[in-house]
C-alpha cells in the first residue's frame, strides 16, 4: 500500500476540496453531491450523523435555508494519505448571508473511486 507525502496528498486533494467548498458556498447541491461517496457519512459532533450522499445533501440544503449563501475560508490545513485514502484536517470560517460568522474544525476522509477521490467521512465541529 502506497503512502503519500503531505505535499503529494495536498496536490491530489486540494483542487477537489476547493471546488467542493465553492459548490457549497454557492448552494450548488448537484455539484456538491458529486463529491460524496454513495456510502458517505457526515457527522456533526454532538448533534447528528447522516448516512448517504443524498441524505447529506438534503441536510445541508435545509441548513442553507437558515444560513443562506456563504463565503468560506480555510486555514490550518493538513493533508495526508495512504493507499486509496486521502485525509484532510483544518479549520474554516464561513461568512453567512443570514446568521453571521460560523467557525468550525473538520476532518474528511476521501476514498479513491475510479480516477478521483470522493468524501467517505466528513466530521464537522462548530466552534463558534
Spelled out in words, what is the top-level CATH class assigned to the domain 3-126?
alpha beta
Contact 88, 7 (CB under 8 A): no
pLDDT digits (tens, 9 = 90+) for 37-87: 999 999 999 999 999 999 999 999 999 999 999 999 999 999 999 999 999
Residue 125's Cβ-side half-sphere holds a number of Cα atoms within 13 Å equal to 9
Question: Which pLDDT score is estimated for 116?
Answer: 93
Q: How confident is the model at residue 128 (pLDDT cuts 50, 70, 90)?
A: confident
Beta pairing class for 85-96 and 70-82: antiparallel
Beta pairing class for 116-126 and 70-82: unpaired
pLDDT digits (tens, 9 = 90+) for 24-38: 999 999 999 999 999
Pure H helices in 2-118: 6-25, 29-33, 53-67
Amino acid at each position: 500500500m502506497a503512502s503519500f507525502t503531505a505535499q503529494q496528498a495536498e496536490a491530489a486533494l486540494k483542487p477537489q476540496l476547493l471546488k467542493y467548498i465553492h459548490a457549497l458556498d454557492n448552494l450548488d447541491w448537484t455539484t456538491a453531491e458529486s463529491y460524496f461517496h454513495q456510502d458517505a457519512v457526515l457527522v456533526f459532533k454532538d448533534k447528528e450523523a447522516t448516512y448517504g450522499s443524498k441524505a447529506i445533501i438534503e441536510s445541508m440544503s435545509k441548513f442553507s435555508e437558515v444560513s443562506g449563501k456563504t463565503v468560506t475560508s480555510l486555514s490550518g490545513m493538513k493533508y495526508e494519505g495512504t493507499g486509496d485514502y486521502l485525509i484532510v484536517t483544518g479549520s474554516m470560517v464561513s461568512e453567512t448571508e443570514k446568521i453571521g460568522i460560523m467557525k468550525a474544525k473538520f476532518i474528511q476522509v476521501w476514498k479513491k473511486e475510479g480516477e478521483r477521490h470522493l468524501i467517505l467521512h466528513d466530521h464537522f465541529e462548530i466552534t463558534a
